[in-house]
Structure 1
Amino acid sequence: MADYTIRDWHEGDDLQLMQIWPEAENTQAAVFRAKFGPDAEKPWQRTVVAEHDGVPVAAATVYETSLHSSRLWAYVEVAPDHRRAGLGGRLMQALRDAAETAPSGVVSLRSKVEPGSAGAGFAQWAGLGSIQRTRMIRVDAGALPQRALREDQDGNLDQAIEDLATGSLELTQAVWDFYRRVHEWDPPAEQSLGRVNRLFLSDEAEAYGAIVMRDGVIEARKNGKNAPIAAFAVSYRPLDADAPGREFSEDEPTEVLLGYDVDRVRSGGDVEQLLALLVAQYPVVIEVDDSMSILTELVDALLDRGTAHLEEETLVVADR
């Protein structure tokens, strides 16, 4: 290991590393690579680079985020020709040493890996265990039969589907309530609704439309109120939508955040109805954590039928 030198990040390291690293193995690796950069204080981040004979061959970064602040994100990548030489372990120790200086006082680390990948094996070796599984699921067009909205015995609708502006305070609150409840395994920090909207529903987040399912319309109307949101769907533009030469086809799925009121008894039916509407003509891709019990049951059934397909699976691994 005497041939390797660990140092701070220098300008231009990214270009040198990209020359010797292969294509990113998965989406998560690509996202983490984009985080490499100079040290920062707000938000706090430290990045180190390993050189071999003066040439950068590996890098590692650790940083904090304001949304999930109970652990620090960490990532290590070593060029294939330099793996299994103990370099990854040295970089991981450098990250742990850096974490001791984080102003938040948080030292526990987390990362994301694909099951069965080299990264998953390294994470296990480094003492990081799985705390959550996330899947990106493509749901085919027509995967679910559409159902009529529920009526009372007099034919009055007790459900409603409506478009809602992504700037809506009501929608922002519904999204945040859902997000907090399904992330109790890694509790998010308190956020203002303005910041929640910026994170999930703004132009910056590439959100461009939302529809909601309201339930209990009849009773709410008697009280002169809007019926509560039982389920919602927010659609997003692809990250590369504006890339030169980018073309779209009808069978290209739209990425959708699908959520629901965790406490409503009929949430499962409401989510299924809303998803059936979304895929009536075109496919969608939804992100499903195992903590999203209603969505998990629904997509597992669709996967069994062959009308949904696993596009990507990720494990969140962390110090315990």
Structure 2
Amino acid sequence: MSTEHDAAARPADPARLTLDSGLTVRPWAEGDDLKLLQVWGDPENSMHHQDRSLLRPSSNDPWSRCIVAEAEGLPVAAATIFRSSLHPDRLSFYAEVAPEHRRRGVAAQMLQILEAEVPNCAVQSLKSRVAKRSAAQCFLKDNGFTKIQASRQVVIQPGAIKLPDLDSAGLDLEDLATGSVELTQLVADFYNAVHTWDPAEMTVGRAQQMLLAPETGASGAVVLRDTANGGDNSILAFAISYTPERTEDPADVLLGWNPELPEADAETSCRAMLSLLAAHFPVKVEVDDAMVPLKTVTDELIEAGLAEFDFEALIYARDAS
């Protein structure tokens, strides 16, 4: 039975290689994150911060390779590829180069070095996430990647959506513990349903660990239930807050719905949930193009000037033939 470690007894440890730019490449070492931070500066946004956290020592479990490029002994660039157990069909790629060393082919050559290790993994396809209209977007296009998804962080202003009459609509808003088995199963089902473009293997255990445990910052959850005549009291939509206290700053919320709902019903449930969440305080949600019911609602709000997005991320992939 093939596994992701089959052809690799140990992580790659390439000898120091010299790039065409004159930079020297070596494996990632302890302390490189702090040295690179001094050269790169602070991350531009939360996505940038998350991507930088992917840079770490090479490993076979989970499978990953990471290298650093130096100029006169000082790290100025880094790149990694790794396999996620949650999205196992593609390897993730991330690279960052100090501004003064860009446009010299550094990232492209680091990608080539890492690609030489890909045959040691059971997965051959690659994906990468970049900010829209960034230089990295052009880099991916030039290296054979094509766009497969877009994602926005959308902030909904207080009172942007008229509140529904819950009783007449046959709805009930209920606080639910983040450890609820019912909620955890629905979160897992929702996540898998909206990631068919990059198939996920979200399980109840992973949903609890990655999205609902206290360590994730999850501070509470509410669900919208169907209480209409003939309704089965099932959950129509859910919202998980990662902001412990409501303030004038937008609350960070994961909003989802029962994936078994027809699209029109899912949209109605998303609209009702958003109206309740943002009744008095702003709310921030992440919306992928694949989240059609939620995207329909947030697009309408953006067009009406009742919501805005702070940045848009694009996901590119290069699939093995």
Write the distance in 2 (CA, Å) between the matches of 1:2 and 1:82: 8
- Show the 5 A alignment for 1:251-290: 251-265=248-262, 266-290=265-289
Paired letter, 1:135: R
- Show the 5 A alignment for 1:237-252: 237=243, 250-252=247-249
- Show the 5 A alignment for 1:173-212: 173-189=185-201, 191-212=202-223
Contact 2:21 2:104 survives alignment (8 Å): no
Q: How many residues align?
A: 298
Residue aligned with 2:68, SS: strand
Alignment-derived partner of residue 37 in structure 1: 56
Write the distance in 1 (CA, Å) between the matches of 2:260 and 2:120: 40
Residues 1:313 and 2:312 are matched in the alignment? yes
Residue 264 of structure 1: CA displacement?
Answer: 2.0
Task: From the superposition, tell whether residues 25 and 123 of structure 1 become closer, same or farther in structure 2 (CA, over 3 Å).
Answer: farther
Contact 2:67 2:79 survives alignment (8 Å): yes
Q: Deviations over 1:53-101 (max 9, x none)?
A: 3222211011111111111111111111111112111101112112222
Q: Which runs of 4+ in 1 moved over 4 A?
A: none
Residue 150 of structure 1: CA displacement?
Answer: 4.7
- Computed over aligned residues only, the root mean square deviation of the Cα atoms, in angstroms, reads 1.8
Contact 1:111 1:316 survives alignment (8 Å): yes
TM-score normalized with structure 1 length = 0.88
TM-score normalized with structure 2 length = 0.88
Residue 263 of structure 1: CA displacement?
Answer: 3.0
Contact 1:258 1:286 survives alignment (8 Å): yes
Alignment-derived partner of residue 60 in structure 1: 79
Paired letter, 2:256: G
Which consecutive unaligned segments of at least 5 residues does structure 1 have? 152-156, 221-225, 239-247
Alignment-derived partner of residue 245 in structure 1: none
Paired letter, 1:179: Y
Residue aligned with 1:314, SS: strand
Alignment-derived partner of residue 9 in structure 2: none
Which consecutive unaligned segments of at least 5 residues does structure 2 have? 1-19
Q: Deviations over 1:145-174 (max 9, x none)?
A: 1110253xxxxx732211111111111111
- Show the 5 A alignment for 1:22-33: 22-33=41-52
Residue 127 of structure 1: CA displacement?
Answer: 1.4
Contact 2:21 2:106 survives alignment (8 Å): no
Alignment-derived partner of residue 226 in structure 2: 215
Paired letter, 1:168: S
Contact 2:158 2:280 survives alignment (8 Å): yes
Contact 1:3 1:53 survives alignment (8 Å): no
Contact 2:21 2:105 survives alignment (8 Å): no
Residue aligned with 2:219, SS: strand
Share of identical aligned residues, percent? 40
Paired letter, 2:49: A
Paired letter, 2:150: R
The worse-fitting range, judged by mean Cα deviation, of 35-44 and 199-208 is 35-44
Residues 1:167 and 2:186 are matched in the alignment? no
Write the distance in 1 (CA, Å) between the matches of 2:271 and 2:240: 15
- Show the 5 A alignment for 1:33-182: 33-102=52-121, 105-151=122-168, 158-182=170-194
Task: From the superposition, tell whether residues 100 and 26 of structure 1 become closer, same or farther in structure 2 (CA, over 3 Å).
Answer: farther
Residue aligned with 1:69, SS: coil
Contact 2:152 2:313 survives alignment (8 Å): yes
Residue 249 of structure 1: CA displacement?
Answer: 7.9
Residue 208 of structure 1: CA displacement?
Answer: 1.0
Contact 1:160 1:217 survives alignment (8 Å): no
Write the distance in 1 (CA, Å) between the matches of 2:102 and 2:172: 56
Write the distance in 2 (CA, Å) between the matches of 1:109 and 1:256: 29
Paired letter, 2:82: Y
Residue 2 of structure 1: CA displacement?
Answer: 6.3
Write the distance in 1 (CA, Å) between the matches of 2:162 and 2:77: 50
Write the distance in 2 (CA, Å) between the matches of 1:207 and 1:23: 25
Write the distance in 2 (CA, Å) between the matches of 1:159 and 1:249: 24
